[in-house]
Amino acid sequence: MVVKLREYGIADPDEIYWFKSSIHRGRPEPLDLHLGMFLPTLLTQATLEQQDRFFMPAWNLEIIGTYAQTEMGHGTHLRGLETTATYDPATQEFILNSPTVTSIKWWPGGLGKTSNYAIVLAQLYTQGQCKGLHAFIVPIRQLGTHDPLPGITVGDIGPKFGYDEMDNGYLKMDNFRIPRDNMLMKYAKVEPDGTYVKPLSDKLTYGTMVFIRSHIVGDSARSLSRACTIAIRYSSVRHQSELKPGEPEPQILDYQTQQYKLFPLLATAYAFHFVGAYMKQTYHRITGDINQGDLSELPELHALTAGLKAFTSWTANAGIEECRMACGGHGYSRCSGLPDIYVTFTPSCTYEGENTVMMLQTARFLIKSYTQVSSGQLVSGMVSYLNDLSGQHIQPQQVAARPTTVHINDPASLVEAYKLRASRLVEAAAKNLQAELNRRKNQEDAWNRTSVDLVRASEAHCHYVVVKLFTTQLSEINDAAVHAVMNNLCLLYALYGISKHTGDFLQAGILTDAQVTQVYQRVKELLAAIRPNAVALVDAFDFHDNHLGSVLGRYDGNIYENMFEWAKKSPLNKTEVHESFHKHLKPMQSKL
Catalytic residues, by residue number, are 352
| Contacts of residue 157, Cβ cutoff 8 Å, sequence gap at least 6 | 106, 107, 112, 168, 169, 170
Residue of 80, 85, 77, 170 lying closest to 135 (CA atoms): 85
Q: Exposed/middle/buried for 539, CB within 10 Å: 0-12, 13-18, 19+? A: middle
Beta strand 129-139 pairing with 65-68: unpaired
Tell me the C-alpha to C-alpha distance, in Å, between residue 489 and each of 271, 321, 414, 437. 9, 21, 13, 43
Residue 130: its H or E element: strand 129-139
Question: What gap in Å lies between CA 326 and CA 232, rounded to an integer?
Answer: 9
Residue of 355, 518, 498, 366 lying closest to 431 (CA atoms): 366
Question: What gap in Å lies between CA 124 and CA 183, rounded to an integer?
Answer: 10
Any idea what DSSP says for residue 65? E
Work out the number of other CB atoms within 10 angstroms of the CB of residue 397: 11
HSE of 532 in the Cβ direction (CA atoms, 13 Å)?
5
Helix ranges (DSSP H) in 501-585: 502-507, 513-530, 534-539, 545-548, 559-568, 579-580
Question: What gap in Å lies between CA 330 and CA 567, rounded to an integer?
Answer: 12
Residue of 23, 22, 18, 17 lying closest to 1 (CA atoms): 23
The C-alpha angle 355, 360, 362, rounded to 5 degrees, equals 95
Question: What gap in Å lies between CA 217 and CA 428, rounded to an integer?
Answer: 28
Any idea what DSSP says for residue 149? P
Question: What gap in Å lies between CA 405 and CA 403, rounded to an integer?
Answer: 7
